[in-house]
Copies of this chain bind each other. A is one copy, B any other.
Amino acid sequence: MAGVKRVLVTGASGFLGRACVAALRARGFTVHGTGRGPQTIPEIVWHQADLLTEAGRAQVIAASRPSHLVHLAWEARPGLYRDSPDNPAWAAASLDLAARAAASGTVRLLGIGTCFEYGPFDGNCVEATSPCFPETAYGKAKLAASAGFAAVPGGAWGRVFFPFGPGEPAARLIPALIRSLLAGEAFPCSHGEQIRDFIYIDDLAAAITTLLDSDLTGMVNLGSGEPRRLRDIIGWFSHKLNSEHLVHFGARAVTGADAAPTITADMSRLHAELGFTAPIGWTLGAERTLAWWRRKFEEAQP
**A→B interface (CB under 8 Å):** 54, 85, 87-89, 91-93, 95-96, 98-99, 102-103, 128-129, 131-133, 137, 140-141, 143-148, 150-153
Contacts of A148 in B (CB 8 A): 88, 91-92, 95, 141, 144
Which of B137, B146, B153 makes the CB contact (< 8 A) with A151?
B137
CB neighbours (8 Å) of A99 from chain B are 88-89, 91-92
Asked if A151 and B147 make an inter-chain contact with CB atoms under 8 angstroms apart, the answer reads: no
A151–B95 CB distance below 8 A: no
> Bound state CA distance, A145 and B95, in angstroms?
10
- A143→B147 CA distance, assembly (Å): 6
Chain B hits for A151, CB < 8 A: 87-88, 91, 137, 140-141, 144
Q: A95-B95, A129-B131, A132-B132 are in contact. Are A88 and B141 (CB under 8 A)?
A: no
Smallest CB gap from A127: residue in B: B133
Chain B residue at minimal CB-CB distance from A98: B88
Q: Which residues of chain B are near A95, meaning CB under 8 Å?
A: 88, 91-92, 95-96, 144, 148
Please tell me how many copies of the chain the complex holds.
Answer: 2
- Majority secondary structure of chain A interface residues (helix, strand, loop or mixed): helix
Residues in B neighbouring A85, C-beta threshold 8 A: 153
**In the bound complex, what is the Cα–Cα distance between A144 and B152 (angstroms)?**
11
Give Cα A137 to B102, complex, Å. Answer: 14
Residue from the list B54, B91, B98, B128 in contact with A147, Cβ < 8 A: B91
Looking across the interface, which residue of chain B has its beta carbon closest to that of A93?
Answer: B96
Question: Smallest CB–CB gap between A286 and chain B, Å?
Answer: 35
**In the complex, chain B residues whose CB is within 8 Å of the CB of A89:** 99, 103
29 contacts between A and B (CB under 8 A): A85-B153, A88-B95, A88-B98, A88-B99, A88-B148, A88-B152, A89-B99, A91-B99, A91-B148, A92-B92, A92-B95, A92-B98, A92-B99, A95-B96, A95-B144, A96-B96, A129-B131, A129-B133, A132-B132, A137-B151, A140-B147, A140-B151, A141-B147, A141-B151, A143-B147, A144-B144, A144-B146, A144-B150, A146-B147
- For A153, the closest partner residue in chain B by CB is B85
Distance between Cα atoms of A85 and B155 in the complex (Å):
13
Smallest CB–CB gap between A110 and chain B, Å?
Answer: 15
| Nearest-CB residue, chain B, relative to A132 | B132
Q: When chains A and B are docked, how far (Å) is the Cα of A38 from the Cα of B154?
A: 37
Closest to A151 in B: B140
Q: A91: which B residues are within 8 A, CB to CB?
A: 95, 99, 147-148, 151
